Structure 1
Amino acid sequence: MNENELKSYLETAIVASLKAGREILKIYDTNFDVEIKEDNSPLTQADKNANKVINYYLQQTNIPIISEENKQLPYAERKHWTRCWIVDPLDGTKEFIKRNGEFTVNIALVENGNPVLGVIYVPVTKELYFTSEDLKNSKKITITSEDETIENIFKNSSVIKPSAISDTVKIVGSRSHLNDNTKKFISEIEKKHSVEMVSKGSSIKFCLVAEGAAHIYPRYAPTMEWDTAAGHAICKTAGVEVIDHKTKKPMIYNRPNLLNNYFIVSSL
């Protein structure tokens, strides 16, 4: 992928995430209905509207899309893709329903299984995280409006970096998923360090490690590829590993089974 291609795809993903965020907030302030999908996860009109907007922009790249809210294609077809977009139009629907602001728009571009480009937008706080145009680092900007120009975003964003461990290890966990395996992992860390828990929902957890607000994000609960691909890309270019607990290697994407293994995000 040459530099011009990469920049064009990044611009498209950023615009798509901002427009999707705007659609999400339109629903957020209403008395919306909640459906329950076959997998028992919640679905709102915000998920659907955001997905529609993102598909509109990404389809213009002629790269296939894996989105939580699209019909999933069989691996027999997907295995021939060298590139694909992986999208969660509204990551953290449970947080959206609770109205705590901790939900995101996730867009990633994957090439040969590796997440190369990632965009995460937090609509309520208007924080935008993304991999840089040259993939040498990751950046963050808090915008004032979803109409912010790409030029201003690139010009005014700041590079984010993970932080080194001091005496206290900050572990980020989900408000909705703190199970026995996670507690066991934390207790092992506590044998060597004092531990401070940082609770957040959705893919914001990846961003906190990438920007140094936390050191580790252990995930011993089910996630899908669209929950992690964008965060993985942002962490990777920030210098943070996202390791599959089963393979002990960096996670890969567009697999036969889109359900992730457990994983650890760590700046150690």
Structure 2
Amino acid sequence: MIDVSLKTMLDISLDAGREILDVYNQEFSIETKEDDSPLTEADRRSHQSIINGIREAYSRIPVLSEEGSEIPYAKRKDWTLFFLIDPLDGTKEFIKKNDEFTVNIALIENGYPVMGVIYAPVLDSFYFGRVSLGAFKLEDASRVDLADDEALIKQSIRLPVADPSGVVNVVASRSHMSEETEVFIEELQRDHEVDVVTAGSSLKFCLVAEGKADYYPRYAPTMEWDTGAGQAIVEAAGGTMLRYEDHERLYYNRENLKNGWFLVKR
């Protein structure tokens, strides 16, 4: 496998974050895509920034992105290694200006995420994970001077962080709470004290990886680029992300890029 540097992924994420914040801090227009989801100039600028960074560093690895997803299955079905990116995850949160949006980049090998990075530009928090290495969080990411992967890992907090609380924490989507998710929470409440936390974008995966949430039930549609990086980080932290219908790991680069329901658990 091509050796992909986590420090390089940090640099690419920071560049994308700067493009996003440049739009975030001014008036911006909102378009609507064919699937009725919103699109802003920040989505486009982040996408192009990431594409440029990956092409410069890893030109041999193909990319599947939300904002460049029209790649025929016939062309991508034989990919054994590729980057899966969501240049701006949580566009609805971006539009609401609640700061809970992220840049997601995953490396998919033979259908499964082996590395993932998530950067929250406003929070300036960088989460990253590799199955063979573990999961980590770097705070004040844009203000830390790092030379290489070793320095990045040394400056970061290893996840999960121990949580002595006896309360069961469930994180749910701020914008997509479904009736089935509410039922899942009600069933947990029969035997446990349950605290429900809402969060936007892929930060829900990060809360599970950190140990701040025990469950993230997603009983509503998502796309592959919404979940690849988060799954990699959760699994690197020792958690699981399993499909609702058969309790198997979610795999990627399917002909239909829409995900079914799933449950993330630490």
- For 2:92, the equivalent position in structure 1 comes to 94
- For 2:113, the equivalent position in structure 1 comes to 115
TM-score (norm 1): 0.93
- Classify 1:150/1:236 alpha carbon distance in 2 versus 1 (closer, same or farther; 3 Å): farther
1:149 aligns with 2:149: no
1:55 aligns with 2:51: yes
State how many pairs are aligned: 262
Mapped partners of 2:67, 2:181: distance in 1: 28
Write out per-residue CA displacement over residues 235-262 of structure 1, whole angstroms, 9 at most, x where no aligned residue. Answer: 0110000001123101101111110010
Look up the equivalent residue of 2:122 and give its one-letter code: V
Look up the equivalent residue of 2:220 and give its one-letter code: A
Cα drift, residue 154 of structure 1: 3.0
Mapped partners of 1:138, 1:212: distance in 2: 11
Cα drift, residue 135 of structure 1: 2.6
- Classify 1:25/1:150 alpha carbon distance in 2 versus 1 (closer, same or farther; 3 Å): farther
Write out per-residue CA displacement over residues 3-35 of structure 1, whole angstroms, 9 at most, x where no aligned residue. Answer: xx43x3433322111110011000000000000
- For 1:183, the equivalent position in structure 2 comes to 182
Mapped partners of 1:165, 1:72: distance in 2: 46
Mapped partners of 2:233, 2:172: distance in 1: 18
Q: Any runs of at least 4 consecutive aligned residues in structure 1 with deviations exceeding 4 A, and if so which?
A: 162-166
- What SS does structure 2 have at the residue aligned with 1:145? helix
Cα drift, residue 150 of structure 1: 4.6
Residue in structure 1 matching 2:74, options 73, 76, 83: 76
1:135 aligns with 2:117: no
Residue in structure 2 matching 1:37, options 9, 25, 33: 33
CA contact under 8 A between 1:126 and 1:144: conserved in structure 2?
A: yes
Structure 2 unaligned spans of 5+: none
- What SS does structure 2 have at the residue aligned with 1:115? strand
- Tell which deviates more after alignment, 59-68 or 34-43: 59-68
- What SS does structure 1 have at the residue aligned with 2:222? coil
CA contact under 8 A between 2:7 and 2:152: conserved in structure 1?
A: no
Mapped partners of 1:137, 1:223: distance in 2: 25
- For 1:235, the equivalent position in structure 2 comes to 234
Cα drift, residue 78 of structure 1: 1.0
Mapped partners of 1:14, 1:72: distance in 2: 26
- For 2:159, the equivalent position in structure 1 comes to 160
Cα drift, residue 146 of structure 1: 6.2
CA contact under 8 A between 1:117 and 1:135: conserved in structure 2?
A: no
Mapped partners of 1:209, 1:226: distance in 2: 18
Structure 1 unaligned spans of 5+: none
CA contact under 8 A between 1:165 and 1:215: conserved in structure 2?
A: no
Look up the equivalent residue of 1:37 and give its one-letter code: K
- Percent identity between the aligned chains? 48
Look up the equivalent residue of 1:96 and give its one-letter code: F
Mapped partners of 1:238, 1:200: distance in 2: 19
Mapped partners of 1:124, 1:217: distance in 2: 23
Mapped partners of 2:125, 2:69: distance in 1: 29
Residue in structure 2 matching 1:105, options 85, 103, 108: 103
TM-score (norm 2): 0.94
- Classify 1:262/1:30 alpha carbon distance in 2 versus 1 (closer, same or farther; 3 Å): same
Mapped partners of 2:21, 2:69: distance in 1: 24
CA contact under 8 A between 1:19 and 1:146: conserved in structure 2?
A: no
Look up the equivalent residue of 2:38 and give its one-letter code: P
CA contact under 8 A between 2:163 and 2:212: conserved in structure 1?
A: no
Cα drift, residue 184 of structure 1: 0.8
Cα drift, residue 166 of structure 1: 5.4
- Tell which deviates more after alignment, 91-100 or 146-155: 146-155
